[in-house]
A and B are shown apart, each in its own frame.
Chain A
Amino acid sequence: MSKQIGDVILDLQNISLRFGGVKALTDISFNVREHEVRAIIGPNGAGKSSMLNVINGVYHPQDGKIFFRGEERKAMQPHMAAAQGIARTFQNIALFKGMSVLDNIMTGRNLQMKSNLLMQALWWGPARNEELKHRARVEEIIDFLEIQHIRKTPVGRLPYGLQKRVDLGRALAMEPKILLLDEPMAGMNVEEKQDMCRFILDVNDQFGTTIVLIEHDMGVVMDISDRVVVLDYGKKIGDGIPDEVRSSPEVIKAYLGAGH
């Protein structure tokens, strides 16, 4: 691959997260480098989604430090993480069901829209220009994801595969530095998975977006990711390039049981 993997952009050190007595994450450290595709894998309940929620500020870990672009983050709210350039998609599609595809993706531009409420109510010059400028940008994303034909359709009426694509589009509209993808290919057939892989690799390649990905399809993970971190019961049991991880005895044990 031609892309250049850069310096560490996100560094997680000794993260522990508890819900009451339940330990979701225990002492996990790993880092993400600029422009790479970083996969997080692990059996069900390993803490993968919790990990993403920690990264974008939905959960606050009790212990550990998070450095984003060299600065330590404290008491981060999700919208602040968004403002810093962390976008994500959801495992169970969390689109805005009552809104059209276009409006859903336009919400991703929200942080860049500066005109005030009164201007918007009057649809006055600057507000209108801003709206049209961002519409043009959103149309580029719609073209990129090949969903032109459904731009005015309410997302509630779309099939699952397309909804996943809109979810990706909404995150892309934020022009994020890091894109967190929570099982982008769950429940898809082979063709849809191929399309989605293509989009993910294109995003990574064309826009240089760093991608952190949770996925269960090992074929996909091993193919597209640069480095993989493996979690099991909230603990890190493997970290490295796909080949290393695949041959690690601990990882095999977690996935296949002790007997193998």
Chain B
Amino acid sequence: MIYRENGQFKTSYGADQQIFPIAQDRWAVLAIIAFAFIGVPLLADEYMFRAILIPFLILSLAALGVNLLVGYCGQITLGAGAFMAIGAYAAYNFLIRIDGMPLLGALILGGLTSAAMGILFGIPSLRVRGLYLAVATLAAQFFWDWAFLRIKWFTNDSSSGSVSVSNLDFFGWTIDAPAEKYLFCLGMLVVFGLLAKNMTRASIGRQWMAIRDMDVAAEVIGIRPMWAKLSAFAVSSFFVGVAGAMWGFVHLGSWEPAAFSVDRSFQLLFMVIIGGLGSIVGSFFGAAFIVILPIFLNQMLPALGGLFGVSISTAAVSHAELIIFGVLIVFFLIVEPHGLARLWATSKEKLRLWPFPH
């Protein structure tokens, strides 16, 4: 037993509807956020920031957006990469074409453009569902891949097709060093995570989940399917678009359309499935699993080999990495098809009672 909520009685519905009703949970989460803001910048080195932490934070944000759509509203999408690209290129164009556009303004306008496109490409969801919808959203992916490659206006007529952003200025704070980029991404993720959590516990989140679980009953109860589905597409695309803009601006600095290919869409979908559909924390678990595990394996395997006196070649390591990664995905999906978040929730529930069986 780690902790219990003994003696914590709720006397108002407000207290009962907090995000973390149990005091220990609340403190633990605050401690983790404080550590991420203060402790990590002191401890991590540049490689950690560039290769692991910044991609993890930005892809968490994108996975969060995908989870709102796929996990909460039950509308499958294979176009997340395209919406990242729309966010990135829209923010880029707002930044260079409008004088004095602040960084945050460009990111949010990028997100809003992506949201508008999300509504447009979400319209098929009113007619088709499941795999057919997946194929319809795949159309968005192919269309925008093509558009950003061929329509030169989007890339400001750059000859190589790649665009770049420098001198990130956040209300006078120049985001330059890796630690600063990390703090910026972390701040954005905390804010967006809070927004997502608030939406999912409010009426709009219940509408999405109602559409996901039983759309006929939802309609009979007075939920308009069109509003629920398209708002989910809009909010999800907004999150994914902002994440895409941050991926371009903060992580890559300069990028080509290939950065947001269909591979990215699949990667985000896998994150959400492995992490846990319909769970905020699951999005973070999924992103951590997919971003960090391959790097961890890559670093650990030679060390493990050295332990047994075997030297493993670089090629062998990269093969083994893929094999083990694949095996782990299958393993986790068999152990808990509802994802790492459910595994986490179940173990918390068990620990609450431990060492007693009931």
Contact = CB atoms under 8 A, between A and B. Distances in A.
Interface residues of A, number: 41
A109 B202 CA distance: 11
B296 to A, nearest CB: 32
A128 B14 contact: yes
A136 B13 contact: yes
Interface stretch (B218-226, B245-253, B266-274): B218-226
A77 B220 CA distance: 9
Contacts of B223: 79, 107, 110
11 contacts: A82-B222, A90-B217, A109-B203, A110-B221, A120-B198, A120-B204, A121-B195, A122-B195, A123-B202, A132-B14, A174-B221
Contact of B203 (A120, A122, A132, A170): A120
A88 B212 CA distance: 19
Contacts of A121: 195, 198-199, 202
A87 B221 contact: yes
Interface string B199-218: 10011101101101110111
Query: Of B202, B219, B235, which is in contact with the most chain A CB atoms at under 10 Å from its CB?
Result: B202
* Ranked 3 nearest A-B pairs via Cβ: A82-B222, A94-B217, A96-B213
B278 interface: yes
B17 interface: yes
Interface stretch (A8-16, A97-105, A203-211, A239-247): A97-105
B231 interface: yes
A174 B209 contact: no
Interface string A52-77: 00001010000000000000000001
Interface residues of B, number: 29
Interface in A83-120: 83, 87-88, 90, 94-99, 103, 106-111, 113, 115, 117, 120
Given A98-B213, A117-B231, A107 B220 contact: no
B202 A127 contact: yes
Interface string A226-253: 0000000000000000000000000000
**Interface on chain A toward B: helix, strand, loop, or mixed SS?**
helix
B26 to A, nearest CB: 15
A181 to B, nearest CB: 13
A135 interface: yes
A96 B222 contact: no
A46 to B, nearest CB: 21
A139 interface: yes
Given A79-B222, A81-B220, 17 more contacts: A77-B219, A78-B219, A94-B214, A96-B212, A98-B212, A98-B278, A99-B206, A110-B223, A117-B235, A120-B199, A127-B202, A131-B203, A132-B13, A132-B17, A135-B13, A136-B13, A139-B13
Nearest to A106: B206
A81 B220 CA distance: 8
B225 to A, nearest CB: 8
Interface in B161-210: 195, 198-199, 202-204, 206-207, 209-210
Interface of A: 56, 58, 77-79, 81-83, 87-88, 90, 94-99, 103, 106-111, 113, 115, 117, 120-123, 127-128, 131-132, 135-136, 139, 170-171, 174
Contacts, number: 102
A111 B12 CA distance: 24
B207 to A, nearest CB: 6
Given A110-B206, A110-B207, A132-B13, A170 B221 contact: yes
A136 B16 CA distance: 12
A98 B209 contact: yes
B195 to A, nearest CB: 5
Contacts of B224: 79
A130 B210 CA distance: 20
A83 B222 contact: yes
Contacts of A95: 213-214, 217
Interface string B275-303: 00010000000000000000000000000
A153 B270 CA distance: 28
Nearest to B235: A117
Interface string B1-38: 00000000000111001000000000000000000000
B355 to A, nearest CB: 24
A135 B12 CA distance: 10
B226 to A, nearest CB: 10
A22 to B, nearest CB: 20
A107 B204 contact: no
Contacts of A109: 203
A78 B14 contact: no
A111 B206 contact: no
Given A99-B213, A110-B206, A117-B235, A78 B13 contact: no
